Amino acid sequence: MSQRLRANALLVLWALICSFVAGCDREPESREVTPLTGAIMGTEYLIKVIDLPEQFTLMQLDGDIAQLLRGIDASMSTYRDDSELSKFNAAKTTEWVAVSEDVVEVVEHALETSRITGGAFDITVGPLVNLWGFGPDQHPDRVPTEDQIQAEKARAGYQYIHVRKEPPALKKDKEDIYLDLSALAKGYAVDQVADYLESLGIADYMVEIGGELRLSGRNERGMPWRIAVERPTPGVRDIFNVMQLESNGVATSGDYRNYFEQDGQRYSHTIHPRTGKPIDHRLASVTVIAERCMHADAMATALMVLGADEGLALAREQGLAAYLIVKSADGFIAKSTESFEQYLDTNEP
Ligand code: FAD
């Protein structure tokens, strides 16, 4: 018997955090909030602009942001056959294939992340993601055979991918390489929206797409943004801790929202490139804070792959602000790097 859970990876509890914040901030809401919502990349987004300058309208922002996000979806989705990425994946060639600068930027960042994580992060695990039922194919959840796993694993390897900036293009050394940008493209989209808002001179905002975030300045109460880290319990939405942030990218990866169960074992969507199988350790979630959301997004997945000890060691080595929630006999324990501690909200709820 297998049981499937695939929820929107909204790892930050907006409804909860709003009532939480409203209940504990001393300052009343004093600034005008322009909220924008929509659906993209199989998930939802929420953008809050504080004190929108008079020369801009909600309609203009809404249209520009929707168009920007649709463009990224059209470039980087493995869920549509007509995206640039899907065309590259389908191309049976080892020649350069022209792509947009956006795709080059994201793939280049992915390859750099692979290098600094010793291959724990690897966008060529796409065929394995699909084999285990976490990609666009709607096949039933079941544990694949060892032969199937080895066959798809043989296709992987980030070292077989090359990027060229001028003119922008990608190249693969093996024709059957298949890329999956799901672990960092949402973060990239968050950064793009944040950069667009900043180009308009907007200094106070929150951009959230499917749980990945960029924050800037102050919230509607003129206070630093307060963001919850979710308790990583499947089927339950509860706050584990609260961060206080001003201008940061934030991303969380976990094993508790997108998984299936078979014979009492949980199989999560994070694949270890070395085994070709879902991770199997006690690390339940990782939250990373970085200047760029794309970096936070990629590193959160990488640390999930590595597990608590190796992940924490790498985060420290990289000077990364990381917060790891680990399953223990009594529930969960948190481990964080020193650079994360400044963001923990010490106010009583
Ligand atoms: P994260 O932790 O951020 O990433 C986990 C994902 O990374 C896995 O699901 C897998 O795809 C990949 N991964 C696993 N192991 C590794 C590894 N070792 N190294 C690198 N990557 C790894 N979903 C839909 O249902 N419908 C859609 O139409 C749809 N469109 C999308 C379009 C785009 C452009 C993108 C980027 C994603 C889309 N998705 C869609 C996927 C979805 O919304 C999420 O991006 C996805 O489920 C992972 O996000 P997350 O935050 O849950 O997990």
- Domains of the chain, with CATH numbers? 11-74+184-343 (3.10.520.10), 80-172 (1.10.3980.10)
Pocket probe for ligand 1: among 44, 113, 182, 186, the residue whose CB has the most ligand atoms within 8 Å is 182
Residue 18 has pLDDT above 50, yes or no: no
Long-range pairs of 88-92 with CB within 8 A, sequence gap ≥ 24: 88/170, 88/172, 88/179, 89/126, 89/177, 89/178, 89/179, 91/175, 92/175, 92/176
The mean pLDDT value for 20-40 works out to 72
- CB half-sphere exposure, 190, CA atoms < 13 A: 35
CB 321 within 8 A of CB 344: no
- CB half-sphere exposure, 231, CA atoms < 13 A: 11
The finding on whether 79 has its CB within 6 A of some atom of ligand 1 is yes
Distance separating alpha carbons of residues 3 and 262, to the nearest angstrom: 7
Residue 235 has pLDDT above 50, yes or no: yes
Distance separating alpha carbons of residues 234 and 230, to the nearest angstrom: 11
3-state secondary structure of 222: coil
Q: Which of 9-18, 110-119, 274-283 has the lowest mean pLDDT?
A: 9-18
Query: Which two structure tokens, joined as six digits, stand for 5?
Result: 């859970």
Distance 77 CA to ligand 1 centre (A): 9
Residue 10 has pLDDT above 70, yes or no: no
The finding on whether 230 has its CB within 6 A of some atom of ligand 1 is no
Residue 169 has pLDDT above 50, yes or no: yes
Residue 82 has pLDDT above 70, yes or no: yes
Q: What pLDDT was estimated at residue 137?
A: 86
Distance separating alpha carbons of residues 200 and 178, to the nearest angstrom: 37
Helix, strand, coil tally for the chain in percent (to 5): 35, 30, 40
Q: What is the pLDDT of residues 279-320, one digit of tens each?
A: 999 999 999 999 999 999 999 999 999 999 999 999 999 999
Q: Which of 16-25, 62-71, 145-154, 228-237 has the lowest mean pLDDT?
A: 16-25
Q: What is the pLDDT of residues 185-208, one digit of tens each?
A: 999 999 999 999 999 999 999 999
Distance 160 CA to ligand 1 centre (A): 21
Q: Provide the mean pLDDT of the chain.
A: 91
> CB neighbours (10 Å) of residue 282?
14
Percent of residues, the chain, with pLDDT higher than 70: 91
Q: Specify the residue with its C-alpha closest to ligand 1, atom 9.
A: 269
Residue 8 has pLDDT above 60, yes or no: no
The mean pLDDT value for 86-107 works out to 98
CB 196 within 8 A of CB 148: no
CB 260 within 8 A of CB 2: yes
Report residue 75's pLDDT band, with 50, 70 and 90 as the boundaries.
very high
CB 129 within 8 A of CB 272: no
